[in-house]
Homo-oligomer: A and B are copies of this chain.
């Protein structure tokens, strides 16, 4: 199917920035970001105005590790500040690579990353059960000290034989900077800005009385992307991932790529347990929520299949 909506929020997966097993050097990150930026530039050339959101797993992990290793010399920053730093780091790389890929095909457009806070509920049940592992691995002694001193919760990781901090993963409720993002995308009579927003799922904040308070948590980037899309009234939400399509019976007998399905159909497959918790599950959850909140169309595909999918060949479309 051809796409008629010419404006979209595009969520980029962690692998588009740093592939599994790759050393997190600047050279590798630039290589990967450049590759993804090439496809995004082609999408812009097709006439799309886009808002980009992205993961930050390996990057914020490395910032936390740098803070830990150098803590005797440089006072460490808390997690919300590290997420802000990762938004700066990844936002800049996307900004730079996309500017250049656009220039190579004759397009001069501004690309602007915005430091984005995402509101979560203080009484979100996730705060009672932290599940998301973050940052470096510690020995038992260190872990006990950190739990005592910082009030952290830590869990033993069998595979790596070390303790790791776990933080809550609350549900995103609202994008604090939504009006500013909207104004850059839709405001004015000039060509719209390509905005990079809500990186790493956004910096999680809660309302505490009158003030906003940053917290140590991780918001799922696809769910945050869905809230971002809804909050700026985008009708088209694109999730880029490792696979070209959504599959039922993935890697089992009867595996089948979905081409175009309705919200009702995808909810049926979801209920049947076709989408794994660690991989396609959260993306389908975000897609369903987006469509239930007034969105019109979701496309799930890989960066390499983005342009073909927009032209009607490949990818999985989920529609009302």
Binding site for B on A (CB under 8 A): 23-26, 62-63, 65-67, 69-70, 73-75, 77-78, 80-81, 84-89, 91-93, 95-96, 99-100, 103-104, 110-115, 117, 176-177, 179-180, 183-184, 187-188, 190, 193, 195-196, 203, 205, 210-212, 214
**Quick one: given A23-B75, A75-B25, A193-B180, are A92 and B203 in contact (CB under 8 Å)?**
yes
Q: Is the CB of A81 within 8 A of B93?
A: yes
A114 cross-chain contacts in B, Cβ below 8 A: 112-115
Query: Residue on B with the closest CB to A74?
Result: B62
6 A-B residue pairs with Cβ-Cβ distance under 8 Å, sorted by A, are A85-B85, A110-B177, A112-B180, A114-B114, A183-B187, A184-B187
Q: Which of B25, B104, B115, B212 contacts A91 (CB 8 A)?
A: B115
A75 cross-chain contacts in B, Cβ below 8 A: 23-26
A190 to B205, CA, bound (A): 24
A113 cross-chain contacts in B, Cβ below 8 A: 114-115
Query: Known pairs A91-B115, A92-B115. 19 more at Cβ < 8 A?
Result: A63-B85, A66-B70, A69-B74, A81-B89, A81-B92, A84-B88, A84-B89, A86-B88, A88-B88, A92-B214, A99-B211, A99-B212, A104-B210, A110-B176, A114-B115, A179-B193, A180-B184, A183-B190, A183-B193
